[in-house]
Amino acid sequence: MPLEPYKRGKTWWAKGRIEYNGRPITDYLRESTGSPTEQGARDWIVDREEAERRRHVFGEAAQELTFLDGVALYDPDPLTARYLIPILAELGDLPCSKITPEMVKALGPKLYPNNATDTWRRWVVTPTRSVINNAADLGRCPPIRIKGYEKKDRVAQDRRRGKRSRVAKTPGSWEWLLRFREHAPERLGVLAHLMFVTGRRIGQSIALHPDDLDRDGGKVMIRGAKGHEDEWVEVPEDLMAELVALTPKTPRGWNRKKANLRVFGYASSTGPLKAWRSACGKAGIAYLPPHSAGRHGFGQEMVVRQRVDAQATARFGAWADTDLLSKTYTHPEDVKGKIQEAFRTGRVQAEELTGLKLRKDKAEF
């Protein structure tokens, strides 16, 4: 059967064999085209078939592996596949061995002129590097090392777009959570509670299936992310009671079958955002996006406010190392007050130790 497109989630895939003169020249293929549209998938199939037929006729050595060929060897997740579409338009026909770090970095401002350098790294550098190095692991091309954008690049781009990147996030707190829950729908309030006390991301949290709840053990199954494995995580008794009290729902547009049930009923991480912002407005509290209220709030509450050691916090919250936790997920609070109080304490201690006073009464002069 020749290659035919079919939809899988939000991305179109291709399945079948590539033929030459009516005979198959490949094994059965099932690959992502990286396209969200059927026409884009058909264009991908045309390019894939042409490359495979050239390889069949002229041999492997006659043609260097192109970036398009590299994408065909790669199995991206749906989000990465979406990022690869505009990159393919720029690099698709180029041999992977001829693609330089400078060429890849230059695509950032070209494709996304109004975005920050961190976005360029996530949407351009990382997926391009992943495709090429995956092909390199298969022995098809040399690997590529891309250092990324420097601080001066970030500052210059922020000036051009008139907007700062890497703005410090305001972390969630118990006070914020309690006020939020007073005005949020029940499911949303429980979702916020779960993220705050486990430090997990919204995507992991909304993926909860009813079978992921262990009521007797007081645990929930959190799906792995960022290189971590799936893990049973203990939660407070009151949160477990809230979770099991929710009636599982099938997300809108999904087939109504048991495998598709979700504790919170959302199809994606964007599903709760409108109601989330509305609840913040009704509560009269600052709008904190889920990641700030949850994962950042967890890190701040544990390390800064409750003085839990970083190793324990990182282990429970599934951070790869304590450096990332400290640099990104903890934030200074009441800076001026803490510094001034520390100075006052130090001065009083020194005065008691030395018997001297920093300020003398006028009567002493």
Predicted TM-score (pTM) of the model is 0.62
Contact 246, 186 (CB under 8 A): yes
DSSP 264: S
CA-to-CA distance for 76 and 33, rounded, in angstroms? Answer: 9
Please count the residues of the chain.
Answer: 365
Q: What pLDDT does 363 receive?
A: 53
Q: How confident is the model at residue 142 (pLDDT cuts 50, 70, 90)?
A: confident
Q: How do residues 154-182 score in pLDDT, each as one tens digit?
A: 999 999 999 998 877 889 999 999 999 99
Contact 276, 189 (CB under 8 A): no
Q: What pLDDT does 362 receive?
A: 55
- Which residues make Cβ contacts (< 8 Å) with residue 225, sequence separation at least 6? 201, 203, 204, 318
Q: How confident is the model at residue 62 (pLDDT cuts 50, 70, 90)?
A: very low
CA-to-CA distance for 344 and 291, rounded, in angstroms? Answer: 37
Task: Identify the CATH class of 174-328.
Answer: mainly alpha
Q: How do residues 219-275 score in pLDDT, each as one tens digit?
A: 999 988 766 788 999 999 999 999 999 999 999 989 999 999 999 999 999 999 999
> Where are the chain's structural domains?
4-161, 174-328, 337-364
